[in-house]
Structure 1
Amino acid sequence: MKSTLRTLRTYACALALATTLASCTKTVAPGTTLPSTPDQKFPGGAPITSADLTRTYALPQEPPPYDPSIRREEYARFAWRQFIYLNSPAELNFEGKTPAGTTPVVRGQIDTHRNFASSGDPNFYQNGVGAPNPLGSNQLVWETFAHRSELFPANAPPMGVIQFTSPQYNFANVTVGPKSDMIRFNNLDETTQISQNQIFFPKNPTGTPSDNPYDDHMILFEAKVNQVEYEYIANTFASIKNLPKNTYPSQDDLPKDIPHIEFPPNKDNSQLPAAARSDRESIEVKAAWREMPDDLIKSGRYHTAEALYYVNGANGPEPRVGTFGLVGLHILRKMKNYPAFTYTTFEHVDNLRREEGNPTGLYVITLYDTMNYRLSLHDPPITKTPQAMVNTGTGHFQSVALPLEGKVNAANGYPIISGPTQSKLPSGFAGPIRVEPSQAMTKAVNEVNAEVSQVMANTPGFEKSVWKYYRLAGIQVFPVDETSVTATGEPDPLTEDFYLANTVVESSRPGIQLFKGAVSDPGTRGAAPNQLINERSQPNILQVPGLADSYNTVVMGGCMGCHGNAQYPRPQDAQGKEKPGPTIFNFLTSEDTLSGKGFEVDVRATRAGEPRANTRVYIE
């Protein structure tokens, strides 16, 4: 990894786009949308064209209410249009538009003088970095969103408005302020896939794991939210016990019965205080970044950026800056017609195979060594091997066997990579486990990816674009019950993305990749510290305002099902056992974050167990 500051550059469109064709032209007013054609149900579902890649316009408007006649290809194109918008350059902050010396960009705002073509320059980020501001002027729209530690800062009030404010990262175990020369918009504070495993690219060209996995190239993560969700949380804090705005409650002050949290758009939710109601849309982003050797930085195949990460220091976690490559991107968006959020995920084409076609050797180390299945939280273990019924859009289901319950080893069906790495892992860990392709890639998604690839090939300015090397992995738009996945007859179109997953964000098949129901992470909700429990028949879409009853108590899979476990507060029955509560779809909201404890950073360890991953558990 590299840690460098580069020369100061002038904030000018022409200079920023010297190597990109047609990048300062073909802009249209924000909010402009393409007209729909007779065979399209909504404008965002129309075929992708060169104009989509070179014009500048607002986030694509939401689809109409879910209708089975809306083809899956239309939703896939809608997903691509979201990706194009969010990966366009953020607006430059200069010429007296805002207070001087704050940030070099307007956070969360697209630049109407630049476009998706310009951000595809392999040196996009590097061309905008230089003293005196280490943040850099070339940022993607989503990169400037509020980091989770800004949404829920530890022992500090949320700022409320962040558009012209430098990042301020307040964690429970470290603080990085705007005056630090290490401050960056990308803050990779998570080293695990929701506390379940850690993931690595082997540095060995043969794809063989190193004896010590922490000598390989690790994938790190970050979570961000847009200004709409950020303001909603700030206003929600202000409403608790009628506290003055920006007065952060202590844990003692926090009432036990916090009002039901319902992220915007929510203007019809009469339970919410007026300040917290909004018909604007919440957007969340989860990004996966890989540590980059020099040859990959220079390859021109990755969007790269400098980012914060953390190592062990004499007095706790210490921030460092390195150059990382984007390998996975989740986009979560809540819309009036889609109150359970839509879930879109993209990944790099080289995640599993290198450019020349050889396997990368991508593998995980699990933070548990035992895995069990249950129907629901209080049921006995399942004795038979669970099956995942996968619909790839070809007209029928394919049965995929999950590993046997019990020890995480080759005998129980895990693709363990034999060698010295396995024998050197400490107790409670398992692996290395080869990452296998996601089963979520559907016929419609593959066809639209090919469509977009062809358009890029025929569009000036994309000859050397990094965006040629990213693909849509899938999109979930509406919940569907597990009974639709096991039923005979014509498959429900919604089941095509039932097991939506990304190979670098959801890598372990029993834990996340072929997930449905609920999960007890190691050491939580009755699971032992070395045990993961998958409750495969636990309803997880519950009491969502705006959802019809037929969709509102279901067992969902994939990203939507996992987020459906985000329930706060989680009520208890008369016997004191916890029971499912209303779904809020936000892993970031918990009693800890609402009481001001915030999050802790994960340290990029040098060996397994040093320290054991300390990510705030998402599914509690």
Structure 2
Amino acid sequence: MKTTFRFCVMLVGLASLSGLALAREQAMPSTQASNLSCQPPSTAPAASASQDQFDQYSWQMFIALNWPAQNGQRGDPDCAKQPGDPGYTVWQTYKTVEEIFLPKGADPGPWNTPQTAKSLGIINIAALKNSTQVNAVDQAVGGWLIDQAGNPTYYDISANETSYDYIVNNSFYNADVVSKANNINFPNGVIEVKSSWRILTTSDNASRYLTMLARVATFNDQGQRTGVTEAYLGLVGLHIITKVNGYPQWIWSTFEQIDNVPPKELVHGQWVDQPTAGMTYSYFNPAAPAITLNQSPCDWQTQGGQLVCVPKPGTTFQTPNPLNRVTPIAEVTNAVNTNYRTDPGLQRSVLKYYQLITTQRPLMPDNPSNPLGQPTPALSANVTMESYIQPNSSCMNCHSMATPVKSPYKSDFSYLFKFANAPVGKTTKDEE
């Protein structure tokens, strides 16, 4: 079965950079001052630039995409507003995969169609591996993720207008067309966003989250879909990938809400979780034995030709999956986080409660002998998206293997085309 699960399982052993070396990288003086702009950066740092400069780029992109959107114009910021003002953010008005890849491979039409209040529709649960279509929003590998309140984590993927136009102009929304395409090459300026969300309860402080109301799938205790309900969600993770001039392997930025798991500190030569006393974390349980952390909840079984996640013996779909961070956030990245999170312009915004985990990019983007460009840093893991493969997780390595459904051809680091549907009477699917 050609699924995200199999693609990313192949990553084990590829990464060679240790978490200790990454986390102990010293902060370097920045050549870019912290500033807030409603527009994303027009260029990326040179390939030889420091981690600090790439992390600055990621934060500038994060702020621009989380700027309040212009009413009636999807994907455009309202520069008269400021972060923290009400309304959808820019990236929340991007087209979701549900809007791009319509049933029967239909043309999704013009970009600027009206957006309803429940724009994301049904948010697919992570690792619901019972159809080809939802595989692309599954966790990178391992199964669903249940937070400490016993609720599932939900995921969505969206794309900006440049990406949308490329897909529509080439009829790549049609699975029959895109599965035969042997030259998929997104233009510069493409942005894709993958988000992860958890249900906020009365025990949560919603003022620390980017929030939205959305329809979400409901499940029984075995993880089988039972229906749909409306829920109040808080953003817990955000992958931003950008294709920029000079970087054919794209630039990969990943952010998390700061209450997901506690930070780590170096104690007697070992990295140790340092939870704040009295703090409740969304995915961390201080009483959980170390052997239970970051473990897949799945007893994988084949049902109807599909790999299905069945809860391990003694657990149910509501059993929390305790996590911690395997690779500590680098000192240089933490310094950039502090710089932006304390910026006076963000103090009215929930953005001050988010942190950059890392920026991954190719160190040698134009080396013909190394098409992957040497991912730097070697590891990149968001605890809400790569929960169970953190020790070997690399966004670039995983996405370098992306293909459309039932296709031998690469799809330029994008898994979007796993959502493409075939016209009436066609059954283009991944091979089982």
TM-score for the superposition, normalised by structure 2 = 0.70
| Residue in structure 1 matched with residue 16 of structure 2 by the alignment | none
**SS, match of residue 332 in structure 1:** strand
Shift of 1:142: 0.3
Deviation string 1:241-282 (CA, Å, 9 cap, x unpaired) is: xxxxxxx75x7x6597324211113xxxxxxxxxxxxxxx11
Shift of 1:479: 5.8
Q: 75, 97, 101: which is aligned to 1:108?
A: 75
Q: 276, 284, 296: which is aligned to 1:366?
A: 296
C-alpha change, 1:183 and 1:156, in structure 2 (3 Å) is farther
Q: 71, 75, 80: which is aligned to 2:50?
A: 71
- Unmatched runs of 5 consecutive residues or more in structure 1: 1-38, 94-105, 125-137, 168-181, 204-215, 239-247, 266-280, 371-420, 482-492, 516-556, 573-580, 598-615
| Residue in structure 2 matched with residue 401 of structure 1 by the alignment | none
Deviation string 1:511-562 (CA, Å, 9 cap, x unpaired) is: xx233xxxxxxxxxxxxxxxxxxxxxxxxxxxxxxxxxxxxxxxxx611111
Q: 60, 64, 70: which is aligned to 1:85?
A: 64
| Residue in structure 1 matched with residue 41 of structure 2 by the alignment | 60
| Residue in structure 1 matched with residue 330 of structure 2 by the alignment | 442
1:330 and 2:297 are equivalent in the alignment? no
C-alpha change, 1:433 and 1:201, in structure 2 (3 Å) is closer
1:184 and 2:74 are equivalent in the alignment? no
**Alpha-carbon separation, structure 2, partners of 1:618 and 1:221:** 21
**Alpha-carbon separation, structure 1, partners of 2:195 and 2:179:** 33
| Residue in structure 2 matched with residue 387 of structure 1 by the alignment | none
| Residue in structure 1 matched with residue 315 of structure 2 by the alignment | 425
C-alpha change, 1:596 and 1:559, in structure 2 (3 Å) is farther
**Alpha-carbon separation, structure 2, partners of 1:332 and 1:188:** 20
Q: 14, 32, 38: which is aligned to 1:46?
A: 32
Contact 2:75–2:161 (Cα < 8 Å) also in 1: yes
C-alpha change, 1:221 and 1:257, in structure 2 (3 Å) is closer
Shift of 1:63: 1.9
**SS, match of residue 514 in structure 1:** helix
Shift of 1:432: 6.2
Deviation string 1:45-64 (CA, Å, 9 cap, x unpaired) is: 6021xxx23xx442111225
**SS, match of residue 103 in structure 2:** coil
**Alpha-carbon separation, structure 2, partners of 1:333 and 1:308:** 28
Deviation string 1:447-492 (CA, Å, 9 cap, x unpaired) is: 11122233x2xx2x644532221111000121679xxxxxxxxxxx
1:343-358 matches, cutoff 5 A: 343-353=252-262, 356=277, 358=279
**Alpha-carbon separation, structure 2, partners of 1:422 and 1:85:** 42
Aligned residue pair count: 349
Q: Which amino acid aligns with 1:81?
A: Q
Q: Which amino acid aligns with 1:263?
A: F
- Unmatched runs of 5 consecutive residues or more in structure 2: 1-28, 128-138, 263-274, 285-292, 301-310, 366-372
C-alpha change, 1:256 and 1:187, in structure 2 (3 Å) is closer
Q: Which amino acid aligns with 1:115?
A: Q
Contact 1:194–1:618 (Cα < 8 Å) also in 2: no
| Residue in structure 2 matched with residue 560 of structure 1 by the alignment | 396
| Residue in structure 2 matched with residue 307 of structure 1 by the alignment | 214
Shift of 1:356: 4.6
C-alpha change, 1:445 and 1:506, in structure 2 (3 Å) is same
Contact 1:329–1:345 (Cα < 8 Å) also in 2: yes
Which shows bigger deviation, 432-441 or 143-152?
Answer: 432-441
**Alpha-carbon separation, structure 1, partners of 2:96 and 2:179:** 26
C-alpha change, 1:465 and 1:319, in structure 2 (3 Å) is same
CA-based RMSD of the aligned residues comes to 3.7
Contact 1:221–1:286 (Cα < 8 Å) also in 2: yes
Shift of 1:495: 6.3
- Structure number with bigger Rg: 1
Q: Which amino acid aligns with 2:33?
A: P
**Alpha-carbon separation, structure 2, partners of 1:46 and 1:494:** 25
